[in-house]
Structure 1
Amino acid sequence: DYIHYGKCPGYGKSKEEMETSISTFSKYIIIYRSRPVGVISFKNQGDGSYYLGCLCVIPPYQKKGIGTEAFQYMLSLCPDWKRITLFTPVDKKENLNFYTQKCGFEKGNIRMDQEIEVVEFYMNR
């Protein structure tokens, strides 16, 4: 997203703040057939609330169920979860469909992050 938009939409942070926040998120490299093909990162915000900071799979490996499996793995690591939230740009239709249809998130509020319109997704248990 930083390359596509020239900024980090949905994070509301400068590049420097993003670099700092990277160290506070758990990161898991997604491996498919012995190849690194993506990453998932999330942060425990306390009281069963988690923020999904990144879930990405490189294009040649998308639409194979890899991202869905990575998200399910995250849930297994967070048995106490009560709420999970994330932000993604509104214009990324494939993300919108993935999070609602494959992962079970619901759409929340839409807001502007600098010049980019983003939507919050949430999942409650």
Structure 2
Amino acid sequence: MELTYRKATTDDAELLLDIYNASFYDDYIRYGECPGYGKTKAEMEAAIETSSKYIVLYDTDFVGVISVIEKEKEMYELNCLCVLPAYQGMGIGTQAFQYMLTVCPNWKQITLVTPADKEQNINFYTKKCGFHLGRKTMDGNVEIVSFYRNRFTDS
């Protein structure tokens, strides 16, 4: 499987909206809200300006997005890793995460959050990406769990 990555620009906003909406539709239906679903074009353009977003291509097909932001020096937040439903379970998310580590070579810690009842996400991040479970909190109506990975103690 040949994956390539391209850094998103504001010209990609509509493409990213399509990928996000297809990837997060089930979460939106399940929870009634989802930060990755239903953004406007202007919101996506602003997000592209403030975080590093990489489009994942499988051969020539756009299949996912990975987005990371440096919150503090060497401390990153993985704020989106999504793969279109038709391409899930093929190792694309795992490879995209490994790619993210190469574009953030100075990372000391990476954090993220996901809904606490999404066992598939929890297993993915802990078993395939090496994250540890953090604490659970409420975000609106959704209980979320945080994850962390420390470079020098977890790599």
TM-score w.r.t. length of structure 2: 0.70
Supply the AA of the counterpart residue of 1:30. Answer: V
Structure 2 partner of 1:25: 51
In the TM superposition, residue 98 of structure 1 has moved relative to its aligned partner by 0.4
In the alignment, the residues of structure 2 paired with residue 53 and residue 63 of structure 1 have an alpha-carbon distance, to the nearest angstrom, of 20
- The gaps in structure 2 that reach 5 residues or longer are 1-23
Residues 12-68 of structure 1: CA distance to partner in whole angstroms, max 9, x if unpaired? xxx68xx37623111111101210011000101222100001001011111111100
**In the alignment, does 2:70 pair up with 1:57?**
no
| Structure with greater contact order relative to length (CA < 8 Å, sep ≥ 6) | 1
Structure 2 partner of 1:114: 140
Q: How does 1:55-94 map to 2 (within 5 A)?
A: 55-94=81-120
Runs of 4+ in 1 over 4 A off after TM superposition: none
**In the alignment, does 2:127 pair up with 1:101?**
yes
Q: Kindly indicate which of the two structures has a greater share of residues assigned to strand.
A: 1
- The gaps in structure 1 that reach 5 residues or longer are none
In the alignment, the residues of structure 2 paired with residue 51 and residue 108 of structure 1 have an alpha-carbon distance, to the nearest angstrom, of 14
Greater Rg by CA: 2
RMSD: 2.1
**In the alignment, does 2:28 pair up with 1:3?**
yes
How many residue pairs end up in the alignment? 120
In the alignment, the residues of structure 2 paired with residue 56 and residue 34 of structure 1 have an alpha-carbon distance, to the nearest angstrom, of 17
